[in-house]
Chain A
Amino acid sequence: MSRTDQFVEQWLPIIGESVVETFQMVGISLFFSVLIGIPLGILIVLTRPGQALANKFIYQLTNLIINIVRSIPFIILLFFILPFTKLIVGTTIGVQGVIVPLVIYTAPYIARLMESALLEVENGVIEAYTAMGISTGAIIWNVLLREARPSIVLGLTISTVSLIGATAMAGMVGAGGLGDLAYRFGHLRYEVDVMYATVVILIILVQSIQSIGNRIAANIKKD
């Protein structure tokens, strides 16, 4: 049996499991982060001074909260909010336990990326639709979000990549994943091959996600 075959036989199931865990963590927390982050981004754009629902208080409060959460590095956030995590999902360990901090870490990031995506939409188009007597709700959906789609997709791509990075620290609470694998086996147990394999898989993963994101964005951009 060659060395490669041996490696594959020994490590493939473990690596495979880690890949699945990483996908689980990224998928689930991305879902909830988008659910929170996109409305938050819309809120911060619409309550901005001079916009449709201008409200200084909500605007500044939302800004403050986003900035506070964004100031905390993930590894610290992970432990800092342990009681909150326990309250929400009933546990602080495993994939379940890491979803809450991942969402809290990613949602404000997505909100900021959404903010810049939505601000790119020309005010004139919104004005044209207002002048046609179309309601603010319909304008948000059919003009603002529609026109921002290419930037939203790029923003979500960036968030996903940064989310993959954050899941590497999930091993701290026993959630597994590729980062954890590289750390535990590659680093602590000197299994250099595992380290290389994980890094290569991560590179391929990030490359593919970025390429797919770029392609989708280019496809809906139309200019």
Chain B
Amino acid sequence: MIVLENVSKEFNSKSGTVKAVKQVNIRVNQGEIHGVIGYSGAGKSTLIRCVNLLEKPTEGKVFINGVELTSLPLPKLRKTRNKVGMIFQGFNLLKTATVYDNIAIPLKLLGYNKDEVKKRVEQYLDIVGLTDKHTNYPNQLSGGQKQRVAIARALAQEPEVLLSDEATSALDPETTDSILDLLLKINRELGITILLITHEMNVIQKICDHVYVMENGVIVEQDTAINLFTKPTHPTTKKFLNTISQRNLSNSLIAQLNVTGAVTRLTFVGESTGKPLLAEVSQKFNVQPNILTANIIELKNGIVGNIVVHLIGDKEQVKNAIHYLEAQGVATEELEGHSHE
């Protein structure tokens, strides 16, 4: 379990004090995967480095499994850091060491005996699927393979929590997916709690239970992934959602369509995804739905469907139709257009 309580971090620079992280509260329960998303410069990298005290928070407290790290003396902090694995965007492997040694050297330095080191290296290389590469050097591997070595290195310490600092940001989409699958696998099979930071919405979509949206050092919105994808409130959250599905139509188009009916975004989640609700609407009310855009997003814990629909009909009928849809568990949002552009 990872708990951040009112964590702030200030940097002193020539141009004055920069507050990179402001009063952040995060609570990742045992076995969950939480993600912090934000644009570069939002302070998320500083935030995750505050968790294992690579950056010492200026204010606030950090707890890992109930142990308060912020007040620990260095030797004890080192002991606790053993329980916190970390992976990075740049992999951070030893270039001069083989895959095997990259995993074995930290274990040796942490005092494990030869047999234990060998056992763990083999076990975790197997988990990340790189057993046949153990004599290779990092430069002989692809980006995805390097990240797998880094993951094996982190896992070999048998940590209780794993921190991921933009671990997939340097990888192509296909490799990103395979690394995300691996993170899901270790979360499910080894029960490791994961806190990750990213600027990619698909990372959140694929593996996160809970999401924090960060901007200018502040968490501006946080919720379960499903709620956040269903009812985003902060403009930044909406911008991030736009990156994985085209949610917006042009204002002029909406204004033009509004003349003959309402342009409404319908978000289906859970049970409502299974029902043919639009067909029902056209039968029950004198309304003709015309689908403008539609997509479906598979989240870790469910599916969210998004339809932007033009409901053609008179105002009263359209209103009733929307009420009906809401009663069936569909989130609705009427889109307003501005014709004067």
Please give the residue numbers on chain A whose beta carbons come within 8 Å of chain B beta carbons, in ascending order.
122, 124-125, 127-135, 138, 142-143, 146-147, 149-150, 220-223
Residues of A contacting B163 with CB < 8 Å? 131
Complex CA distance for A46 and B90, rounded to whole angstroms = 22
Assuming the contacts A127-B54, A138-B109, asked whether A222 and B86 have C-beta atoms less than 8 A apart, the reply is no
In the complex, which residues 81-106 of chain B have their Cβ closer than 8 Å to any Cβ of chain A? 81-82, 84-86, 88, 90, 92-97, 105-106
Is B80 interfacial (CB 8 A cutoff)? yes
* Candidates A124, A134, A150, A222; contact of B109 at CB < 8 Å: A134
Residues of A contacting B86 with CB < 8 Å? 128, 131-132
Complex CA distance for A147 and B101, rounded to whole angstroms = 13
Report whether B109 and A142 are in contact in the complex, using a CB–CB cutoff of 8 Å: yes
Residues of B contacting A134 with CB < 8 Å? 78, 106, 109-110
The minimal Cβ–Cβ distance linking A154 to chain B, given in whole angstroms, is: 14
Complex CA distance for A146 and B109, rounded to whole angstroms = 14
Report 28 cross-chain contacts, Cβ distance below 8 Å, ordered by A residue: A124-B90, A127-B54, A128-B92, A128-B153, A130-B81, A131-B52, A131-B86, A131-B163, A132-B85, A132-B154, A132-B157, A133-B78, A133-B79, A133-B110, A134-B106, A134-B109, A135-B78, A138-B109, A142-B105, A142-B109, A149-B96, A222-B95, A222-B96, A222-B137, A222-B138, A222-B139, A223-B138, A223-B139
**Residue from B81, B82, B96 whose CB has the most chain A CB atoms within 10 Å:** B96
The minimal Cβ–Cβ distance linking A46 to chain B, given in whole angstroms, is: 16
Report whether A133 and B92 are in contact in the complex, using a CB–CB cutoff of 8 Å: no
Complex CA distance for A147 and B105, rounded to whole angstroms = 13
Complex CA distance for A220 and B85, rounded to whole angstroms = 28
Complex CA distance for A124 and B92, rounded to whole angstroms = 5
Name which residue of chain A comes closest to B150, CB basis: A128
* Candidates B80, B92, B96, B153; contact of A220 at CB < 8 Å: B96
Residues of A contacting B157 with CB < 8 Å? 132
Chain A interface helix/strand/loop/mixed: helix
Report whether A125 and B80 are in contact in the complex, using a CB–CB cutoff of 8 Å: no
Report whether B110 and A147 are in contact in the complex, using a CB–CB cutoff of 8 Å: no
Report whether B95 and A147 are in contact in the complex, using a CB–CB cutoff of 8 Å: yes
Residues of B contacting A124 with CB < 8 Å? 88, 90, 92
Report whether B94 and A143 are in contact in the complex, using a CB–CB cutoff of 8 Å: yes
Complex CA distance for A221 and B96, rounded to whole angstroms = 6
Residues of A contacting B106 with CB < 8 Å? 129, 132, 134
Assuming the contacts A222-B139, A223-B137, asked whether A130 and B54 have C-beta atoms less than 8 A apart, the reply is yes
Complex CA distance for A119 and B154, rounded to whole angstroms = 25
Complex CA distance for A175 and B40, rounded to whole angstroms = 63
The minimal Cβ–Cβ distance linking B339 to chain A, given in whole angstroms, is: 52
The minimal Cβ–Cβ distance linking B91 to chain A, given in whole angstroms, is: 8
The minimal Cβ–Cβ distance linking B9 to chain A, given in whole angstroms, is: 15
The minimal Cβ–Cβ distance linking A210 to chain B, given in whole angstroms, is: 22
Assuming the contacts A122-B90, A125-B92, asked whether A131 and B97 have C-beta atoms less than 8 A apart, the reply is no
Complex CA distance for A129 and B150, rounded to whole angstroms = 11
The minimal Cβ–Cβ distance linking B121 to chain A, given in whole angstroms, is: 15
Complex CA distance for A131 and B53, rounded to whole angstroms = 8
The minimal Cβ–Cβ distance linking A150 to chain B, given in whole angstroms, is: 7
Name which residue of chain A comes closest to B157, CB basis: A132
In the complex, which residues 270-316 of chain B have their Cβ closer than 8 Å to any Cβ of chain A? none
Complex CA distance for A131 and B97, rounded to whole angstroms = 19
Name which residue of chain A comes closest to B52, CB basis: A131
The minimal Cβ–Cβ distance linking A141 to chain B, given in whole angstroms, is: 9
Residues of A contacting B81 with CB < 8 Å? 130-133
Name which residue of chain A comes closest to B139, CB basis: A223
The minimal Cβ–Cβ distance linking A134 to chain B, given in whole angstroms, is: 5
Complex CA distance for A129 and B95, rounded to whole angstroms = 14
The minimal Cβ–Cβ distance linking B160 to chain A, given in whole angstroms, is: 13
Assuming the contacts A131-B54, A131-B81, A133-B81, asked whether A146 and B92 have C-beta atoms less than 8 A apart, the reply is no
Q: Top 8 nearest A-B pairs by Cβ distance? A: A133-B81, A223-B139, A128-B92, A133-B78, A124-B92, A131-B86, A133-B82, A222-B137
The minimal Cβ–Cβ distance linking A172 to chain B, given in whole angstroms, is: 42
Complex CA distance for A127 and B86, rounded to whole angstroms = 10
Report whether B92 and A223 are in contact in the complex, using a CB–CB cutoff of 8 Å: no
Complex CA distance for A134 and B109, rounded to whole angstroms = 7
Residues of A contacting B54 with CB < 8 Å? 127, 130-131
Complex CA distance for A58 and B84, rounded to whole angstroms = 33
Residues of A contacting B97 with CB < 8 Å? 146
Name which residue of chain B comes closest to A143, CB basis: B94
Complex CA distance for A84 and B234, rounded to whole angstroms = 73
Complex CA distance for A138 and B111, rounded to whole angstroms = 11
**Residue from B95, B110, B139, B163 whose CB has the most chain A CB atoms within 10 Å:** B95
Report whether A128 and B88 are in contact in the complex, using a CB–CB cutoff of 8 Å: yes
Residues of A contacting B109 with CB < 8 Å? 129, 134, 138, 142
